[in-house]
């Protein structure tokens, strides 16, 4: 079994050989490493993309807006991913961003996952009716289980979620009340043993 560091290094070198800068190649290495860590087909789809890249044209999107559509050739998932990663602090203000016609979208997803960690928010992705929840780059929850990721995504909708509790205020208050059973009433002996007690001043 290949180690994650070996995967990252080989992806970085192969990306450079495929025509990307060292900086973009390094980001690609980190992203594919992430996919493999989460059990998603990073190496498989990167191989297929590089093979197709030699004979097909892909669009580069450097400046992302709320609605992005490539009517001719599919977007390059690597350039798109790096652009998303670089611009995430601005894109956060959009709340919802749409992309149409993206090649090998699982590669793009890995960059979005890393962006989730940067802004400290979960990101919900709807890709041709398939759902993914990206949790601060800690894990990816998806209903793609036992289904192959597509080579082309017709529509990817990215929703940046606001942070909020998954429980009600009443549920929290009830739990906190239960926790009070561990509180110890302060006694005279505890006061005497508190920080600073019993110390002498030598000055």
Q: Between 22-37 and 77-91, two packed helices, what is the crossing angle to 10 degrees?
A: 90
How confident is the model at residue 71, as a pLDDT? 80
| Residue 203 forms part of a structural domain | no
Strand-pair partners of 156: 99, 127
| Residue 136 forms part of a structural domain | yes
Contact 13, 76 (CB under 8 A): no
How far is the C-alpha of 39 from the C-alpha of 35, rounded, in Å? 6
> What is the tally of structural domains in the chain?
1
**Average pLDDT of the residues in 119-125:** 95
Q: Measuring CA to CA, which residue among 31, 24, 18 is closest to residue 117?
A: 31
Contact 58, 89 (CB under 8 A): no
* pLDDT exceeds 60 at position 203: no
| Residue 104 forms part of a structural domain | yes
- Global pTM reads 0.85
| Residue 65 forms part of a structural domain | yes
pLDDT tens digits, 136-179: 999 888 877 678 899 999 999 999 998 899 999 999 999 999 99
| Residue 107 forms part of a structural domain | yes
Lowest mean pLDDT among 33-37, 151-155, 173-177, 184-188: 184-188
Strand-pair partners of 152: 103
How far is the C-alpha of 36 from the C-alpha of 78, rounded, in Å? 16
Instruction: Give per-residue burial for 38-74: e unless 16+ CB within 10 Å, then b.
Output: bebbbbebbeebbeebeeeebbebeebeeebebeeeb
How confident is the model at residue 128, as a pLDDT? 93
| Residue 188 forms part of a structural domain | no
How confident is the model at residue 113, as a pLDDT? 96
How confident is the model at residue 198, as a pLDDT? 52
Q: What angle do CA 196, 198, 203 make, to 5 degrees?
A: 80
| Residue 195 forms part of a structural domain | no
User: Residue 194: pLDDT band by 50, 70, 90 thresholds?
Assistant: low
Average pLDDT, the chain: 91
Which domain covers residue 35, as residue numbers?
4-160
* pLDDT exceeds 80 at position 201: no
| Residue 168 forms part of a structural domain | no
């Amino acid at each position: 079994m290949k180690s994650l560091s070996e995967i990252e290094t080989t992806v970085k070198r192969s990306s450079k050989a495929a025509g990307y800068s060292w900086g973009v190649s390094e980001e690609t290495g980190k992203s594919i490493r992430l996919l493999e860590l989460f059990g998603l087909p990073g190496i498989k789809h990167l191989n297929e993309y590089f093979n197709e890249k030699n004979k097909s044209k892909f669009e580069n999107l450097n400046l992302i807006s709320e609605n992005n559509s490539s009517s001719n050739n599919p977007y390059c998932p690597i350039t798109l991913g790096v652009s998303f990663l670089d611009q995430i602090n601005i894109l956060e203000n959009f709340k919802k961003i749409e992309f149409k016609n993206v090649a090998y979208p699982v590669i793009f997803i890995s960059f979005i996952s890393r962006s989730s960690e940067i802004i400290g928010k979960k990101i919900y992705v709807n890709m041709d009716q398939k759902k993914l929840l990206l949790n601060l780059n800690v894990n990816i929850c998806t209903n793609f289980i036992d289904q192959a990721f597509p080579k082309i995504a017709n529509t990817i909708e990215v929703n940046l979620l606001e942070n909020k509790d998954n429980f009600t205020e009443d549920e929290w208050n009830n739990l906190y009340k239960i926790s009070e059973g561990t509180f110890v009433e302060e006694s005279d002996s505890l006061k005497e043993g508190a920080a600073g007690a019993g110390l002498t001043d030598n000055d």
